[in-house]
Amino acid sequence: MVPIIPDWPAPAAIRAAFTTREGGVSSGPHAGLNLGRNCGDDPAAVAENRRLLAEHLSLPAAPEWLRQVHGTRVLELPNQQLEPEADGVFTTQANVVCAVQSADCLAVLFCDEDASVVAAAHAGWRGLCAGVLESTVAALPVAPERLMAWIGPAIGPEAFEVGAEVRAAFVAVDPAATSCFQPGVQPDKYYGDLFALARQRLARAGVTSVYGGGISTHADPGRFYSFRRDGVCGRMAALIWIDGAAS
Protein backbone atom coordinates (compact mmCIF):
# COMPACT_ATOMS: atom_id res chain seq x y z
CA MET A 1 0.00 0.00 0.00
CA VAL A 2 1.48 3.30 -1.11
CA PRO A 3 -0.83 6.22 -0.27
CA ILE A 4 -0.06 9.78 -1.35
CA ILE A 5 0.59 12.07 1.61
CA PRO A 6 -0.37 15.66 0.82
CA ASP A 7 2.54 18.06 0.46
CA TRP A 8 1.16 21.14 2.16
CA PRO A 9 2.04 23.24 5.23
CA ALA A 10 -0.68 21.77 7.44
CA PRO A 11 -0.27 21.90 11.23
CA ALA A 12 1.44 18.95 12.92
CA ALA A 13 -1.86 17.63 14.28
CA ILE A 14 -3.36 17.20 10.81
CA ARG A 15 -3.18 13.74 9.24
CA ALA A 16 -4.20 13.23 5.62
CA ALA A 17 -3.76 10.72 2.81
CA PHE A 18 -4.98 9.85 -0.68
CA THR A 19 -5.01 6.15 -1.44
CA THR A 20 -3.86 4.55 -4.67
CA ARG A 21 -4.98 1.17 -6.03
CA GLU A 22 -1.68 -0.40 -5.01
CA GLY A 23 -2.05 -3.13 -2.39
CA GLY A 24 -5.36 -4.61 -1.32
CA VAL A 25 -7.07 -7.89 -2.15
CA SER A 26 -9.64 -7.01 -4.84
CA SER A 27 -9.37 -8.68 -8.23
CA GLY A 28 -10.62 -8.26 -11.79
CA PRO A 29 -11.48 -4.69 -12.82
CA HIS A 30 -11.34 -3.71 -9.14
CA ALA A 31 -7.85 -5.18 -8.68
CA GLY A 32 -6.00 -3.61 -5.81
CA LEU A 33 -7.15 -1.50 -2.89
CA ASN A 34 -10.74 -0.81 -3.89
CA LEU A 35 -12.52 1.01 -1.06
CA GLY A 36 -15.92 1.42 -2.74
CA ARG A 37 -18.79 -0.84 -1.75
CA ASN A 38 -21.14 0.23 -4.56
CA CYS A 39 -19.09 -0.43 -7.68
CA GLY A 40 -19.62 -4.17 -8.11
CA ASP A 41 -16.74 -5.58 -6.07
CA ASP A 42 -16.94 -8.50 -3.63
CA PRO A 43 -18.11 -6.99 -0.30
CA ALA A 44 -15.68 -9.21 1.61
CA ALA A 45 -12.78 -7.87 -0.42
CA VAL A 46 -13.87 -4.28 0.20
CA ALA A 47 -14.15 -4.95 3.93
CA GLU A 48 -10.64 -6.38 3.98
CA ASN A 49 -9.30 -3.44 1.98
CA ARG A 50 -10.86 -1.03 4.45
CA ARG A 51 -9.34 -2.99 7.32
CA LEU A 52 -5.92 -2.85 5.67
CA LEU A 53 -6.32 0.88 5.13
CA ALA A 54 -7.14 1.49 8.78
CA GLU A 55 -4.18 -0.62 9.84
CA HIS A 56 -1.70 0.98 7.44
CA LEU A 57 -2.68 4.57 8.27
CA SER A 58 -3.22 3.85 12.00
CA LEU A 59 -6.65 5.45 11.73
CA PRO A 60 -8.09 6.52 15.10
CA ALA A 61 -11.58 5.40 14.00
CA ALA A 62 -13.32 3.98 10.95
CA PRO A 63 -13.97 6.61 8.27
CA GLU A 64 -17.56 7.82 8.09
CA TRP A 65 -18.21 6.89 4.45
CA LEU A 66 -20.75 8.79 2.38
CA ARG A 67 -23.23 7.97 -0.37
CA GLN A 68 -21.95 10.52 -2.88
CA VAL A 69 -24.43 11.91 -5.39
CA HIS A 70 -22.52 14.73 -7.16
CA GLY A 71 -24.39 17.29 -5.10
CA THR A 72 -23.50 20.11 -2.70
CA ARG A 73 -24.70 18.81 0.68
CA VAL A 74 -22.10 19.08 3.44
CA LEU A 75 -22.45 17.26 6.77
CA GLU A 76 -20.77 17.75 10.12
CA LEU A 77 -19.22 14.65 11.69
CA PRO A 78 -19.71 12.59 13.73
CA ASN A 79 -23.04 11.64 12.16
CA GLN A 80 -25.31 8.84 13.31
CA GLN A 81 -26.53 7.86 9.83
CA LEU A 82 -24.99 4.94 7.96
CA GLU A 83 -23.48 6.29 4.70
CA PRO A 84 -25.57 9.48 4.58
CA GLU A 85 -26.14 11.19 1.24
CA ALA A 86 -23.64 14.02 0.92
CA ASP A 87 -20.57 15.12 -1.01
CA GLY A 88 -18.77 17.03 1.71
CA VAL A 89 -17.99 16.45 5.38
CA PHE A 90 -16.20 18.33 8.14
CA THR A 91 -15.42 17.97 11.81
CA THR A 92 -13.98 20.02 14.66
CA GLN A 93 -13.44 16.94 16.79
CA ALA A 94 -10.17 15.07 17.10
CA ASN A 95 -9.90 11.45 15.88
CA VAL A 96 -12.95 11.68 13.58
CA VAL A 97 -11.99 10.66 10.05
CA CYS A 98 -13.46 12.59 7.12
CA ALA A 99 -13.35 10.69 3.83
CA VAL A 100 -14.57 10.94 0.23
CA GLN A 101 -14.13 8.43 -2.58
CA SER A 102 -13.16 9.09 -6.18
CA ALA A 103 -12.15 7.49 -9.49
CA ASP A 104 -11.55 10.58 -11.71
CA CYS A 105 -13.53 13.17 -9.74
CA LEU A 106 -11.72 15.74 -7.64
CA ALA A 107 -11.20 15.06 -3.96
CA VAL A 108 -10.35 18.22 -2.03
CA LEU A 109 -9.12 18.26 1.57
CA PHE A 110 -9.25 21.27 3.89
CA CYS A 111 -7.81 22.31 7.23
CA ASP A 112 -7.18 25.57 9.02
CA GLU A 113 -3.92 26.97 10.33
CA ASP A 114 -4.87 26.18 13.94
CA ALA A 115 -5.89 22.54 13.33
CA SER A 116 -9.35 23.33 14.67
CA VAL A 117 -11.28 21.93 11.71
CA VAL A 118 -10.81 19.52 8.79
CA ALA A 119 -13.01 18.75 5.79
CA ALA A 120 -13.20 16.63 2.65
CA ALA A 121 -15.20 17.32 -0.50
CA HIS A 122 -16.03 15.16 -3.52
CA ALA A 123 -16.20 17.32 -6.64
CA GLY A 124 -17.14 15.69 -9.90
CA TRP A 125 -17.82 18.26 -12.59
CA ARG A 126 -21.50 18.49 -11.67
CA GLY A 127 -20.81 19.08 -8.00
CA LEU A 128 -17.94 21.42 -8.77
CA CYS A 129 -20.13 23.47 -11.10
CA ALA A 130 -23.01 23.49 -8.60
CA GLY A 131 -20.74 24.79 -5.82
CA VAL A 132 -19.76 21.90 -3.55
CA LEU A 133 -16.41 23.52 -2.75
CA GLU A 134 -18.06 26.82 -1.89
CA SER A 135 -20.63 24.97 0.23
CA THR A 136 -17.86 23.18 2.11
CA VAL A 137 -15.97 26.42 2.79
CA ALA A 138 -19.18 28.13 3.93
CA ALA A 139 -19.97 25.28 6.34
CA LEU A 140 -16.68 25.57 8.21
CA PRO A 141 -16.57 27.62 11.44
CA VAL A 142 -13.47 29.60 10.42
CA ALA A 143 -12.85 32.42 7.96
CA PRO A 144 -11.92 31.26 4.44
CA GLU A 145 -8.60 33.11 4.54
CA ARG A 146 -7.54 30.90 7.45
CA LEU A 147 -8.09 27.72 5.42
CA MET A 148 -5.78 25.77 3.17
CA ALA A 149 -6.84 23.20 0.60
CA TRP A 150 -5.19 20.25 -1.10
CA ILE A 151 -6.44 18.91 -4.44
CA GLY A 152 -5.97 15.19 -4.98
CA PRO A 153 -5.39 13.24 -8.21
CA ALA A 154 -8.23 13.41 -10.74
CA ILE A 155 -8.78 13.05 -14.46
CA GLY A 156 -6.34 15.32 -16.27
CA PRO A 157 -7.24 17.95 -18.86
CA GLU A 158 -5.74 15.82 -21.64
CA ALA A 159 -8.47 13.20 -21.07
CA PHE A 160 -11.46 15.13 -19.74
CA GLU A 161 -13.35 15.82 -22.96
CA VAL A 162 -16.83 17.28 -22.48
CA GLY A 163 -19.62 18.77 -24.51
CA ALA A 164 -20.20 22.46 -25.06
CA GLU A 165 -23.01 22.37 -22.48
CA VAL A 166 -20.55 21.54 -19.69
CA ARG A 167 -18.31 24.45 -20.62
CA ALA A 168 -21.35 26.72 -20.84
CA ALA A 169 -22.52 25.69 -17.37
CA PHE A 170 -19.21 26.69 -15.80
CA VAL A 171 -18.92 29.92 -17.78
CA ALA A 172 -22.45 30.91 -16.75
CA VAL A 173 -21.32 30.87 -13.12
CA ASP A 174 -17.93 32.47 -13.72
CA PRO A 175 -16.88 33.86 -17.12
CA ALA A 176 -13.23 33.33 -16.11
CA ALA A 177 -13.85 29.58 -16.46
CA THR A 178 -13.40 30.05 -20.21
CA SER A 179 -9.65 29.84 -19.64
CA CYS A 180 -10.03 26.30 -18.22
CA PHE A 181 -11.35 24.81 -21.47
CA GLN A 182 -9.51 24.11 -24.71
CA PRO A 183 -11.16 23.11 -28.01
CA GLY A 184 -11.46 19.37 -28.55
CA VAL A 185 -10.89 17.38 -31.70
CA GLN A 186 -14.61 17.07 -32.43
CA PRO A 187 -16.93 20.05 -33.02
CA ASP A 188 -18.57 21.38 -29.85
CA LYS A 189 -16.20 19.34 -27.68
CA TYR A 190 -13.76 20.77 -25.15
CA TYR A 191 -11.00 19.54 -22.85
CA GLY A 192 -11.68 20.75 -19.33
CA ASP A 193 -9.12 21.35 -16.60
CA LEU A 194 -10.78 20.35 -13.33
CA PHE A 195 -7.72 21.36 -11.30
CA ALA A 196 -7.81 24.90 -12.67
CA LEU A 197 -11.59 25.12 -12.26
CA ALA A 198 -11.26 24.06 -8.61
CA ARG A 199 -8.59 26.68 -7.96
CA GLN A 200 -10.85 29.34 -9.47
CA ARG A 201 -13.79 28.27 -7.34
CA LEU A 202 -11.70 28.13 -4.17
CA ALA A 203 -10.31 31.60 -4.83
CA ARG A 204 -13.84 32.94 -5.33
CA ALA A 205 -14.73 31.41 -1.96
CA GLY A 206 -11.77 33.14 -0.31
CA VAL A 207 -9.36 30.19 -0.12
CA THR A 208 -6.08 31.15 -1.79
CA SER A 209 -3.70 28.72 -0.04
CA VAL A 210 -4.22 25.81 -2.42
CA TYR A 211 -1.85 22.90 -2.97
CA GLY A 212 -1.76 19.66 -4.95
CA GLY A 213 -3.52 19.07 -8.24
CA GLY A 214 -2.03 18.08 -11.57
CA ILE A 215 -1.82 14.30 -11.08
CA SER A 216 -4.01 12.51 -13.64
CA THR A 217 -5.85 9.35 -12.61
CA HIS A 218 -6.63 8.58 -16.25
CA ALA A 219 -2.96 8.59 -17.27
CA ASP A 220 -1.68 6.08 -14.70
CA PRO A 221 -3.58 2.74 -14.62
CA GLY A 222 -0.95 1.19 -12.39
CA ARG A 223 -1.65 3.61 -9.55
CA PHE A 224 -5.19 4.85 -10.03
CA TYR A 225 -8.69 3.73 -10.88
CA SER A 226 -10.34 5.77 -13.64
CA PHE A 227 -14.01 5.55 -14.49
CA ARG A 228 -13.55 7.42 -17.78
CA ARG A 229 -10.76 5.05 -18.81
CA ASP A 230 -12.11 1.71 -17.58
CA GLY A 231 -15.85 2.00 -16.93
CA VAL A 232 -16.09 -0.68 -14.24
CA CYS A 233 -13.42 0.07 -11.65
CA GLY A 234 -12.70 0.56 -7.96
CA ARG A 235 -12.54 3.71 -5.88
CA MET A 236 -9.71 5.54 -4.11
CA ALA A 237 -10.24 7.64 -1.00
CA ALA A 238 -9.05 10.96 0.36
CA LEU A 239 -8.96 11.03 4.16
CA ILE A 240 -8.22 13.69 6.77
CA TRP A 241 -8.45 13.91 10.55
CA ILE A 242 -7.15 15.80 13.56
CA ASP A 243 -4.73 13.67 15.56
CA GLY A 244 -5.90 13.84 19.15
CA ALA A 245 -2.50 12.75 20.43
CA ALA A 246 -0.81 15.67 18.68
CA SER A 247 -3.43 18.40 19.07
Domain that holds residue 232: 14-158+206-242
Are the C-beta atoms of 40 and 17 separated by less than 8 Å? Answer: no
pLDDT score of 247: 57
Integer Cα distance of 164 and 117 in angstroms? 38
Residue 174 is assigned to a structural domain of this protein: no
3-state secondary structure 134-187: HHHHHHCCCCHHHEEEEECCECCCCCCEEEHHHHHHHHHHCHHHHHHEEECCCC
Q: pTM for this one?
A: 0.96
CATH number of residue 18's parent domain: 3.60.140.10
Distances in Å between the Cα of 136 and the Cα atoms of 26, 139, 207, 215 are 32, 5, 11, 23
Residue 211 is assigned to a structural domain of this protein: yes
Residue 163 is assigned to a structural domain of this protein: no
Residue 23 is assigned to a structural domain of this protein: yes
pLDDT score of 32: 97
Residue 68 is assigned to a structural domain of this protein: yes
Residue 8 is assigned to a structural domain of this protein: no
Instruction: Please tell me the total count of domains within the chain.
Output: 1
pLDDT score of 82: 85
pLDDT score of 21: 97
Listed as own residue / partner, the contacts of 172-181 with beta carbons closer than 8 Å and 24 or more positions apart are: 173/129, 173/131, 174/200, 174/201, 174/204, 176/200
Residue 101 is assigned to a structural domain of this protein: yes
Tens of pLDDT along the chain (247 residues) come to 889 999 999 999 999 999 999 999 999 999 999 999 999 999 999 999 999 999 999 999 999 999 999 999 999 999 888 889 999 999 999 999 999 999 999 999 999 999 999 999 999 999 999 999 999 999 999 999 999 999 999 999 999 999 999 999 999 999 999 999 999 988 899 999 999 999 999 999 999 999 999 999 999 999 999 999 999 999 999 999 999 987 5
Element (H, E) at 191: strand 189-192
Q: Which residues contact 17 (CB under 8 A, 6 or more apart)?
A: 3, 4, 5, 6, 57, 238, 239
